Amino acid sequence: MRTTVTIDDQLLAEAKMAAARDGRSLGSVVDDALRVLLRGRAQSPDQVDWTFPTSGAGGLQPGVDLNDKDALADLLDR
């Protein structure tokens, strides 16, 4: 589909260079960039990679078994 959009000059120049470097059309580069942008916005919070901070030596406290949900619940209730 053909359309007309206004694109920042520097951004357009970079897109043209990427297209030439990869032997692709400018349209295919723009298509891929839009797909990446729109997929990123569609991610729900449970799809995002999380990094949890640790303090001290890090890792689990002694005796914590992540495979035992009942023991974990007891530990959290303390």
Residue 26 CA to residue 29 CA, distance in Å, equals: 5
Residue 52 CA to residue 41 CA, distance in Å, equals: 22
57: its two tokens: 């030596």
Question: pLDDT value at position 8?
Answer: 92
Residue-wise pLDDT tens for the chain (78 aa)? 888 889 999 999 999 999 999 999 999 999 999 998 888 766 655 666 767 666 666 677 777 788 888 888 887 777
